[in-house]
Amino acid sequence: MSAHEQFAEDLTLHALGTLQGEERASLEKHLDICPACRQELEQLRGDMALLAMATSGPKPPQRARQRLLDAIAEEPRVPTVVLARKSPFNGWAALGWAAAVGMLLVVIQLRRENYFLRESVNNLASMTGQQTVELANARRVVDTLTAPDAQTVTLVASKNPPQPQGKAFYLRNRSGLVFIANNLAPLPPDKIYELWLIPPTGAPIAAGLFKPDAKGNATVVNPPGLPAGVEAKTFAVTLEPATGPHDAPRGTGVMQGGA
Amino acid sequence: MAALYDRYSPVVYSVALRVLGDTGGAEDVQQDVFLQLWRNPGAFDASRGNLGAWLAVISRNRAIDALRKRRPESDLENVVLSVVPDMAGDADRSRIAEKVRGLLGTMPTPQRAALEMAYYKGLTHTEIAAKTGEPLGTIKTRIRAGLTALRKAFQE
């Protein structure tokens, strides 16, 4: 099967896209009914491709790549699989090409998904950054409250001798408890202070043993073993034998406060 | 798509740049070609040829449209081509490019000039005939002979 000789030159011009007017209309009419000339047209385009492949020049600027990826990210459409046009079946070669088309589409889709995953990672990284800042602030608060070298000043009415004081900060649902005490008397030998959480009903719950420093200051932060969700009616501090923790307060009461 | 871009953008861009002669225009053509592929990957008929060759032809056609300030004349699906040599690998493409350049170098000057005016400038045979003072039929013959000479070189 060979192309019609009378159309040979016009086919070349048509492949180049330069055939116009009457000649073009006439050729297109013929192409509709002539597979040989259609095949010749495809081969002429293949010849054009050879010429294109021989073109050399500078590589595209780096920004062009990002510009394309940005534009693609804004495209709503997911590429769909479109079967290749009908062509004479060529056994394994046809299967190979079908597989290649499939792989191409898979690659395109995976690249697209990759882009969106990267976006998610960027968002998560941003959230993590925010949380890191918040955590750093929280640590700073705790450090300020609990650092051994933190200066603690208690203001009382004039002429009153300083009395032991404590403040408990309690987060019931998260078992969070920070207790800060000052003006504590030095511990007698073999004794220790013990903090108690006293619920509205039921037995007091041990909430940490502590010793004051030389200035009478002490802190308890998130004592281990404190059950979650327990309502606190009162917090209290007792002076207990140093062998604790204890299952119930038995020693001398030092201070207490209602929640 | 980034992988396809990395692989084929040099040829897509260089063809557009050769036609248009300005980097901004070539960049726009390249963007358009890859976006079209992204929107309609089925337009490429893999049973007929190599993706790189197809993109190169699409790029050349779109660049000519831009040069001549006209709307794209054909849909991507209508650009079907068959290429004789295998262009799968980079080495294949380099070998082909070298061979084509060698062949263009040995082509008679009037023939090469006619082919390049039609291919890189999108001039019609009438326009080329007016420019060169040659008869229309001669221009047509030269363009065809130039293109088919390339094919023959790869069939040998």
* Complex-level ipTM: 0.86
Q: How far apart are CA B4 and CA A74, in angstroms?
A: 18
Min distance A126 CA to chain B CA atoms (Å): 25
Q: Is residue A184 part of a domain?
A: yes
pLDDT of residue B78: 66
Q: Give the chain A residue whose CA is nearest to the CA of B5.
A: A65
Select from A68, A75, A87 the Cβ nearest to the Cβ of B31.
Answer: A68
**Which SS3 state, helix, strand or coil, does residue A206 take?**
strand
Note the pTM of the prediction, 2 decimals: 0.54
Q: Is residue A136 part of a domain?
A: yes
- For residue B42, the tally of other CB atoms under 10 A from its CB is 18
Min distance A111 CA to chain B CA atoms (Å): 6
Q: Are residue A185 and residue A210 in the same domain, yes or no?
A: yes
- The domain boundary, picked from A117, A146, A175, lies at A146
* pLDDT beyond 60 at B88: no
Residue A111 touches chain B, beta carbons under 8 Å = yes
pLDDT of residue B60: 92
Q: How far apart are CA A209 and CA A77, in angstroms?
A: 64
Q: Are residue A63 and residue A36 in the same domain, yes or no?
A: no
pLDDT of residue A72: 86
Give yes or no for a cis peptide into B135 (omega within 30° of 0).
Answer: no
pLDDT of residue B32: 92
**Which SS3 state, helix, strand or coil, does residue A195 take?**
strand
Half-sphere exposure of B154 (CA within 13 A, CB side): 25
pLDDT of residue A88: 46
Select from A49, A72, A100 the Cβ nearest to the Cβ of B56.
Answer: A49
Min distance B33 CA to chain A CA atoms (Å): 10
**C-alpha torsion sign, points B111, A38, B44, B40:** positive
Residue A6 touches chain B, beta carbons under 8 Å = no
The torsion defined by the Cα of A86, A89, A90 and A96, in degrees rounded to 10, comes to: 60
Residue A103 touches chain B, beta carbons under 8 Å = no
Do residue A12 and residue B42 have CB atoms under 8 angstroms apart? Answer: no
Do residue B147 and residue A107 have CB atoms under 8 angstroms apart? Answer: no
Q: pLDDT tens digits, residue range B41-65? A: 777 776 666 788 888 889 999 999 9
pLDDT of residue A2: 66
Residue with tokens 């650009």: B79
Q: What is the mean pLDDT of each run of 10 residues along chain A (259 residues)?
A: 77 88 90 90 87 85 89 68 44 66 71 59 61 73 75 67 87 85 91 94 92 90 86 93 86 89
Do residue B42 and residue A69 have CB atoms under 8 angstroms apart? Answer: no
Q: Are residue A53 and residue A63 in the same domain, yes or no?
A: no
Q: Are residue A179 and residue A235 in the same domain, yes or no?
A: yes
Residue with tokens 């606190």: A232
Q: How far apart are CA A27 and CA A7, in angstroms?
A: 7
**Domain encompassing residue A142:** 59-146
pLDDT of residue A54: 83
Residues A199/A232, Cβ–Cβ less than 8 Å: yes
Min distance A107 CA to chain B CA atoms (Å): 7
What domains appear along chain B, each with residue ranges and CATH number? 1-83 (1.10.1740.10), 86-156 (1.10.10.10)
Q: Is residue A221 part of a domain?
A: yes
The Cα-based distances of B116 to A34, A51, B80, B121 in angstroms read 29, 10, 22, 7
The Cα-based distances of A128 to A110, A120, A123, A206, A216 in angstroms read 26, 12, 9, 35, 39
Select from B11, B27, B84 the Cβ nearest to the Cβ of A53.
Answer: B11
A55 is written with which tokens? 């073109």
pLDDT of residue A80: 45
Looking at per-residue pLDDT, the higher value among B108 and A159 belongs to B108
- Helix/strand/coil (H/E/C) assignment for every residue in chain B: CHHHHHHHHHHHHHHHHHHHCCHHHHHHHHHHHHHHHHHCHHHCCCCCCCHHHHHHHHHHHHHHHHHCCCCCCCCHHHCCCCCCCCCCCHHHHHHHHHHHHHHHHHCCHHHHHHHHHHHHCCCCHHHHHHHHCCCHHHHHHHHHHHHHHHHHHHHC
Min distance B131 CA to chain A CA atoms (Å): 15
Q: A165 forms bridges with which residues in the sheet?
A: A182
Q: Are residue A104 and residue A125 in the same domain, yes or no?
A: yes
List chain A residues with CB under 8 Å of B66.
Answer: none
Q: Is residue A237 part of a domain?
A: yes
List chain A residues with CB under 8 Å of B33.
Answer: none
Do residue B26 and residue A56 have CB atoms under 8 angstroms apart? Answer: no
Residue A64 touches chain B, beta carbons under 8 Å = yes
Min distance A228 CA to chain B CA atoms (Å): 52
A129 is written with which tokens? 């950054």
The Cα-based distances of A19 to A14, A59, A66, B83, B148 in angstroms read 5, 32, 37, 22, 18
Residue with tokens 């597979």: A35
Q: Are residue A69 and residue A115 in the same domain, yes or no?
A: yes
Do residue B57 and residue A80 have CB atoms under 8 angstroms apart? Answer: no
* pLDDT beyond 90 at B142: yes
Q: Is residue A63 part of a domain?
A: yes
Residue with tokens 């699906």: B77
* Per-residue confidence band for B36, with pLDDT thresholds at 50, 70 and 90: confident
Q: Give the chain A residue whose CA is nearest to the CA of B124.
A: A18
Q: Are residue A108 and residue A192 in the same domain, yes or no?
A: no
pLDDT of residue A84: 41
Residue with tokens 């032809």: B57
* Main-chain dihedrals φ then ψ at residue A83, nearest 5 degrees: -70, 150
Spatial CA neighbour of A146 closest among A164, A120, A125, A169: A169
Q: Which of A4, A11, A12 to mutate to test the interface with B (most CBs of B within 10 A)?
A: A12
Q: How far apart are CA B83 and CA A48, in angstroms?
A: 9
Which residues, in sequence order, are CB contacts of B76 under 8 Å at separation 6+? B36, B37, B40, B43, B44, B58
Q: Are residue A140 and residue A202 in the same domain, yes or no?
A: no
pLDDT of residue B41: 77
Q: CATH number of the domain that A250 lies in?
A: 2.60.40
Q: Could you give the number of structural domains in chain A?
A: 3
- The domain boundary, picked from A90, A115, A146, lies at A146
Which residues of chain A from 186 to 205 reach within 8 Å of chain B, CB to CB?
Answer: none
Maximum alpha-carbon separation in chain A: 122
* Per-residue confidence band for B90, with pLDDT thresholds at 50, 70 and 90: low
pLDDT of residue B54: 87
Q: How far apart are CA A90 and CA A92, in angstroms?
A: 6
pLDDT of residue A57: 80
In the predicted model, what is the mean pLDDT of residues B111-123? 92
Q: Are residue A170 and residue A238 in the same domain, yes or no?
A: yes
Min distance A30 CA to chain B CA atoms (Å): 16
* Main-chain dihedrals φ then ψ at residue A176, nearest 5 degrees: -90, 130
List chain A residues with CB under 8 Å of B34.
Answer: 68
Do residue A49 and residue B4 have CB atoms under 8 angstroms apart? Answer: no
Q: Is residue A160 part of a domain?
A: no
Q: Is residue A153 part of a domain?
A: no
pLDDT of residue A196: 94
Q: Is residue A152 part of a domain?
A: no
- The domain boundary, picked from A115, A146, A177, lies at A146
**Which SS3 state, helix, strand or coil, does residue A146 take?**
helix
